[in-house]
Each structure stands twice: as C-alpha cells, then as structure tokens.
Structure 1
Amino acid sequence: MALLPIIEYPNPHLRVVTSPVAAERVADPAFQKLLDDMLHTMYEAPGIGLAAPQVDIMDRFLVLDVSEERDQPMVMVNPVIRERSDELRVHQEGCLSIPGVFADVTRADGIEVEALDREGRSFVLRADGLLATCIQHEIDHLDGKLFIDYLSPLKRSMALKKLEKARRRA
C-alpha cells in the first residue's frame, strides 16, 4: 500500500463539490487499490476518516474507522445523508487537511446515510455519536465544506492563525 499526499487548507481543491462514482468503477482493481491506499494513509496520519478530496481526488467517496482498535474500516461511495436527528451533539473535531487545529462543532447526534459499500452494494446505515459526527464531517468534504465553516468568524480566525503559527514553526 502507498501513502497518499494529504492536501492542506487553503488548497482550493478542498472547496470542490465532488462528482459521483460510477457503480461499475467500484469493482475496478485500480479503485480497490485506491481505497486500500486511502485507508493506509488515514491510519498512518493518524486519523479516523479521509475523504477523496483530501488526497486531491474529486470523486464522491470516503473511508473511515472510528473503532478503538482501528480494525473496522468502512468505505462509503456516493454517500447521502437521508435523515438527521433533531438532537444535537458537540464534538471536538480536527482535520487531516487542517493539521493541529481542533474546535467544538455542533452536528446532528444521529443520522441515516445511504451509500455503496466497497463491493458496490447499496446499504443504509443508522449512526450516532462519534460515527455520525465522522460521517457528517467526511461528507462535508465531498461537498466542499470544512469543519471550520461551522465556527464563528472570530473562532475561525483564531483557528487559522494557530494553523499559520504551526506552519511557521515547522
């Protein structure tokens, strides 16, 4: 497996709305290798989710694994959130494309998402807690949105100053 380069904010590709993946492409060995490479990259980063735009691929798919043991990888191709709970939850989020920046983000505590799995089969998943937060965060990437977009202008400015300071030190 190969490590893929993760693009970082403010790269404009992080703001691109992705294109759906053709169902027949999912079975392609090159696509399967790309999924493996994305999972490897996510685990090595280390992160709990990685969307295609973060590795400069403008297609609608993502990988994630929120398990403690990091042994429950999930693939979602063309995911769509069908339902969001009225109950909200605050999680501290970070992003591999905005390294070193963390902030509290409020999202739906529960969701229902429909997607294709790694084999191209359609599935529906009900998720809550951290899994729901992670899915929402990664689907935002597919829609050209970043977690810092949920912050107030002041908090966003402070977060981006922290990012710049860390880059200067590096």
Structure 2
Amino acid sequence: MALVISFNTSVRREKLARKEKAESESYRKFIDEQAKLAYEELVKNQSPKKAFFGAILGVFLGLALLILFVWNGLVFYWMLFVPAAVIGYLACKFGKIYESKYANMIGVIGLLTNGFAVMTLYNYEAIALSTIPIAFIVTRYFAKLKLTEAQERAIWRKEIGKL
C-alpha cells in the first residue's frame, strides 16, 4: 500500500512540475508581449519637438504668472519655481517624454528662464540666484513622464537586450 501511495505522489509531483513549467513559459511569453507593447507605445507617443513647443509655451505662461505676482507685490522666492514647474508640466503633457536626455533639454530651458527672471525681476539678489540650479531639477522632474510598472519593465528589458 505504501508503494502505491508513493508512486501516486511522485506521479502527481511530475504532473504538477510539468504544469507549472508550462504556466511559467506562457506567463513569460505574456510578460514579454506586454513589455514589447508598452515599449512600442512609449516610443510612438514620445515627441521631443512637441515637448520643446510645450516648454516654450510654458516659458511664456510661467513668466507671465511670475510677473503678475511680482507686480502685485508678492515677492516670494519660492515663486521662482512656478515658471520651472509650468515649463516641465507643459513639456510633459505635449511631448510625453520618458528619456532623460530630452528631460535634460527641457531642464536647461527652465534653468535659462529662471536665470532671466532673476536678472530682470529680482535684480541679482543672492537668494534668488541660489534658486537657478534648483529650477533645473524642478523642470526636469515635471518634464519626465511618470511611468507605470509595465513601462519601466519594458525599458529595462530593452536596455538589457531581452525585448
């Protein structure tokens, strides 16, 4: 009787192992297909030209907001980050960029805009000058598309050459 039970148990284990192997292979194929589709969608939707256009539009809107605040007597140094955030946000919405090189390009636009605002509106004040490098970081943060887990996995798989 013990021999029959052990034989049935080993047969069940083999069947279970084969079933798990088949499921894992189909799951891997599904993950590969999802990653490929997510990556193709990211590449298709990304447009550096539209991001640049959104950034230029953001420069005008952000500076208009900052000028409005300064003319009404609201001179707070944190308001120097408003144009940077607007530039990054509009670049992200228009261009849907996910690559760092394009986000850095938009960050430079935000940095130059902040430098212009410090020179003209804040007359080279020391605290205002210290916000210039931070404006690059703020603009870059808002310019880059927030990726889903599937999109991050797709980019990672593309980088290691498994896509």
Which structure dedicates a bigger proportion of its chain to strand?
A: 1
> Higher relative contact order at CA 8 Å, sep ≥6: structure 1 or structure 2?
2
Which structure dedicates a bigger proportion of its chain to helix?
A: 2
The structure number with the bigger radius of gyration is 2
Q: Normalising to structure 1: TM-score of the pair? A: 0.23
Q: Normalising to structure 2: TM-score of the pair? A: 0.23
